[in-house]
Amino acid sequence: MVKSCVAVNCTNRWGAELNGVKVGFFRIPNANKFPEKRKTWLSAINRDGYEPKKDDVICGAHFLTGKPSDDSAHPDYVPQIFIHSPTPQKKLEDDLVRYERQKKRVKDKIEKTNRSHAASGLLSLAHPDNHDDDNPEPIDAVPTALGLVEEENERLRKSNAAMEEEIVNLKKKLTSTAFNVKSIENNDSKTNFYTGLQTYALFMFLFNFVSDYVYGGTLLPLQDELFITLVKLRLNLAFEDLAHRAGVSYTTATRIFYKWLDILHVRLGFLIKWPGREALRGSLPNMFRKYFPKASCIIDCTEVFIDRPSRLVTRAQTWSNYKKHNTLKVLVAVTPTGSISFLSRAWGGKISDKDIVQQSGILDKLMHGDQVLADRGFVNEEDFAVRGATLVIPSFTKGRKQLPAKDLEESRCLASVRIEVERCIGLLKSKYQILKGPLPINLVKRSDDIDFATADKIICVCASLTNLGESIVNKDKAK
């Protein structure tokens, strides 16, 4: 069996070469003979739950000199070069130079002491009368000097061991405060706060579901890349902020986000699904069964603020008279049970509710006999009637002093169930604050967008992730 390096993301195998030199492989220190050294090695390797086997090895690429040292003061006493814990090359080289300098200093001190005592011994032999017979020069002077140097070495070793222990503790502390997936590991509260997902287990399920489709790696582990992407959607932190927290450049942070956004958009799109009629009828809450037994969805439009476009035409197309701001407008359909079943493409805020219904494609989803619940802004009765469906909106008095009791009761019930679409949109925007905007223009549409604009992908991914959570429908109404 070919031996390979146990370090995370290291692909070196037995016989590999680095810069024309064959890479060495070294076993993990024995647990019985070198327990402390083994512990520091495993801490440096940093693989959760990893227990080395007898023949497990680590390659010389993780040591500054290409091989481990038995001297605890040497930088290569413990492997230090890893992708997951990048240490600047210059710092490692400085540590090695400092070690060599200290080693030379001790060696020079020993040689100087030896020369001094050797000279004293020769003088004593050459001039025996210069010394008091009652106080002869000790013949063990040189060994005594060597003993002092050995004591100094022992003191330095203990000091170095203490510093190594402090470094290990500081690394653990750094890991616990670092802005990466480790900071939410097995902590559902933090997972929900930073990603919008309810549990850490759900985060890992999502990662395993999409990670096989990832391309173009960076210095960060893939889990950290997904974490950064979800944090951007959830908290809408600036890319400069994300880059600083993650220890990467601004360009790397944006590249990570766009890459994972594409993957999440493709892989999670199935979560926004128009349900079949049988599934709808079988899951209708009681309020719907009584007043709207053929309801297929509740529709409404939501708007996302964007930065002011530089082009006058685009500025006019995105101006919303309702919001008094440049916006994107999206048609949202929610099932009676509270899940998002349809999203239109994002349109400029100027478009009317009637036009967005006609352009979105939702009419093609309807079947004969379906009821679609909406507010008064949707005046598409004819468009729905052509499909054999009914648009249910609040009744108008139309010159009457008041509504008939039946219409009044139906309007009240309609208002009650329409709250669910408003709550669903509210949940979507509160859970993923990037939708509160304003979106910068580079997050609305990029030059390399082809089938979908970046804003469409963002809205779709946020809606898909929202559907992964619990329904917001009032449980009393669902009974």
Q: How confident is the model at residue 268 (pLDDT cuts 50, 70, 90)?
A: very high
Residue 17 CA to residue 94 CA, distance in Å, equals 25
**Predicted TM-score of the model (pTM):** 0.63
DSSP characters over 372-424: EE--TT---HHHHHHTT-EEE-PPP-TT-SS--HHHHHHHHHHHHHHHHHHHH
Give the helix ranges, DSSP H, for 283-352. 286-291, 312-317
pLDDT digits (tens, 9 = 90+) for 157-214: 887 887 777 777 666 555 545 688 998 998 999 999 999 999 999 999 999 999 988 8
pLDDT of residue 149: 72
pLDDT of residue 393: 86
Q: What average pLDDT does this structure show over 256-263?
A: 95
What's the DSSP call for residue 34? -
Q: Do the beta carbons of residue 298 and residue 334 sit within 8 Å?
A: yes
Residue 73 CA to residue 155 CA, distance in Å, equals 12
Looking at the chain, the whole-number percentage of residues with pLDDT higher than 90 is 43
**What is the CB neighbour count within 10 angstroms for residue 291?**
18
Residue 207 CA to residue 229 CA, distance in Å, equals 12
Residue 297 CA to residue 344 CA, distance in Å, equals 14
pLDDT digits (tens, 9 = 90+) for 397-450: 555 556 566 666 667 777 788 888 889 999 999 999 999 989 999 999 887 777
pLDDT of residue 228: 95
The CATH classification number of 272-478 equals 3.30.420.10
Q: What average pLDDT does this structure show over 284-300?
A: 89
Computed over every residue of the chain, the mean pLDDT equals: 83
Q: Could you tell me the residue ranges of all domains in the chain?
A: 1-177, 181-270, 272-478
pLDDT digits (tens, 9 = 90+) for 453-463: 999 999 999 99
Weakest-pLDDT range from 97-101, 188-192, 227-231, 242-246: 97-101
Residue 325 CA to residue 312 CA, distance in Å, equals 14
Q: Measured at the alpha carbon of residue 170, what is the angle toward residues 75 and 69, in degrees to the nearest 5? A: 15
Weakest-pLDDT range from 25-39, 377-391, 410-424: 410-424
